Structure 1
Amino acid sequence: MLLPILHYPDEQLRKTSVPLTAITEEDRELIENMIATMYDAPGVGLAAPQVGVHKRIVVLDTTVGKEPNALVVMINPEILSSEGMQTEEEGCLSVPGYNGNVARAQTIKVSYMTREGEQTTLNAEGLMARAIQHEVDHLDGILFVDRLSPLKRDMIKRKIKKAIRQGAYK
């Protein structure tokens, strides 16, 4: 089932998510629905808060479905270490139509639980590292626009407010 994606400035996007202590059947269904929603959008990642659920769950596929084994589901992800910096353009399914340059770590090590309940770690770099950091931000109520320069952030906020007034923003 496809889930509705919340859009900025919805206040639910600002809430901190809670860790899972066990994976329930409801959580498994949520994960499957998040995967379907991410691919339908299409996007490279989706965090549970973006669909109004404040649990620490993210789904990622930097190939957007082109590689059969690229899908990663992370439960309770925690970034353990990071190195280097890279500034690249980012967008977000919760801020449709707007992009901006965001500085993030080039490489990271992340710990998480798989949907099978196994604790594991992943070393990621480049786009995957960026996507993980972006989605973990969502779990903490942070949007990519919060990481933009004040000038760019204010410009995007003004454009969105104007689009909302004109009925042109979802």
Structure 2
Amino acid sequence: MAILKILTDDNPRLRLKSQKVVKFDKGLRQLATNLIQTMQQSNGVGISAPQVGELIKLIVVDVPEDMDYEGSPGFKAVVVNPEIVKCEGEQLGEEGCLSVPGWYGEVKRFKDITVRGQDVFGKPVKIKASDFTAVVFQHEIDHLSGILFTDLVLPNTLHKAKAAEDSIKDEIEEKVGETI
């Protein structure tokens, strides 16, 4: 296993279309394992092969339990050649990306989707996802076409995350103000 370097939005490889996987071998399974480890190390909930410079259709999704709605189950998947075959509803939410560190913005996505693809051994998989998990799937599948969330962000919603020390400073000032 290895932690891979995540490409950032200034790298033109992120804008290229990925190729369909036709060879389901040990190398593909190793890449999937490395993607999982890289995503976890970076505190992400999803990652795609193009984000580490591999232009193949492979994504990893790992949404922790209760991240979406209280009581919702966690969801983990590695999907090869994923495609959205059904979508319904709309939702609006803030997104970020491991390849666009520190930036966030509002993106309109489908609320419910069905994804078809294959596992790392080539067996067919069909996944139904809703809410935040559906957002993660759509975000990662976009990467396979060279699309970044910043291409889809609603006008005037893209913003840089507040630095941690600014956030702590604001919190302290708030608490001091409450005690006076």
Normalised to the residue count of structure 1, the TM-score between the two structures is 0.84
> Could you tell me which of 141, 150, 153 is aligned with 1:136?
141
Q: Distance in 1 between matches of 2:7 and 2:27?
A: 20
Q: 2:126 maps to which residue? A: 121
Q: Distance in 1 between matches of 2:84 and 2:47?
A: 17
Give 5+ residue unaligned stretches, structure 1: 157-170
Q: 2:176 maps to which residue? A: none
Q: Distance in 1 between matches of 2:76 and 2:149?
A: 22
Conservation of the 8 A alpha-carbon contact between 2:61 and 2:136: yes
Question: Per-residue displacement from partner, 1:78-136 (whole Å, max 9, x unpaired)?
Answer: 10010000000000000000100000000001101012321021111011100000000
Q: 1:47 maps to which residue? A: 48
Question: Per-residue displacement from partner, 1:131-157 (whole Å, max 9, x unpaired)?
Answer: 00000000000000000134446x77x
Q: Distance in 2 between matches of 1:113 and 1:142?
A: 22
Q: 2:80 maps to which residue? A: 75
Runs of 4+ in 1 over 6 A off after TM superposition: none
RMSD: 1.9
How many residue pairs get aligned? The number is 153
**% identical equivalent positions:** 39
2:32 matches 1:31? yes
Q: Distance in 2 between matches of 1:148 and 1:86?
A: 13
Give 5+ residue unaligned stretches, structure 2: 68-73, 161-180
Question: Per-residue displacement from partner, 1:35-71 (whole Å, max 9, x unpaired)?
Answer: 000000010000000000000000110118x9xx732
In structure 2, give the amino acid aligned to 1:32: T
Q: Distance in 1 between matches of 2:31 and 2:50?
A: 11
Q: Distance in 1 between matches of 2:155 and 2:16?
A: 22
**Aligned to 1:136, what secondary structure does the other structure show?**
helix
Q: 1:12 maps to which residue? A: 13
